[in-house]
């Protein structure tokens, strides 16, 4: 999840670069400024935590929450629909 400054042109470029990094690194946008990514195991998680640490802009607010597969699948949606990329199962863990 992130909230980055976008008032100045320079800030918008930095925010857009970060967003593009997330998309290129396999994240999907769940909502504006809320992205998710499936990690196969703790080693994979640590790899992506390190990538985030390196690519996080200096200004703004960027947070990471780790949830298990069960917690993610128990998410309640009040409006909207899940994207196909959001389906988590053992069979498609390697797709991401």
Structure-derived torsion over alpha carbons of residues 84, 50, 16, 71, reported in degrees to the nearest 10: 30
Query: Look-up: residue for tokens 């809320």?
Result: 34
pTM (two decimals): 0.80
Whether the per-residue pLDDT at 61 is higher than 90: the answer is yes
Question: Which pLDDT band, with edges at 50, 70 and 90, does 19 fall under?
Answer: very high
Residue 19 belongs to what domain range? 2-95
Per-residue pLDDT tens for 68-91? 888 988 888 898 877 777 665 545
pLDDT of residue 94: 42
Do residues 88 and 73 touch, judged by C-beta distance below 8 A?
A: yes
Looking at the structure of the chain, the number of domains it has is 1
């Amino acid at each position: 999840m992130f909230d980055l400054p976008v008032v100045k042109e320079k800030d918008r470029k930095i925010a857009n670069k970060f967003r593009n990094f997330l998309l290129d690194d396999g994240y999907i946008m769940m909502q504006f400024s809320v992205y998710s990514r499936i990690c196969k195991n703790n080693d994979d998680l640590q790899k992506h935590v390190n990538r985030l640490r390196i690519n996080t802009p200096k200004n703004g607010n960027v947070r990471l929450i780790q949830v298990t597969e069960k917690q993610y699948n128990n998410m309640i949606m009040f409006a909207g629909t899940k994207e196909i990329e959001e389906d988590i199962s053992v069979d498609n863990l390697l797709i991401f």
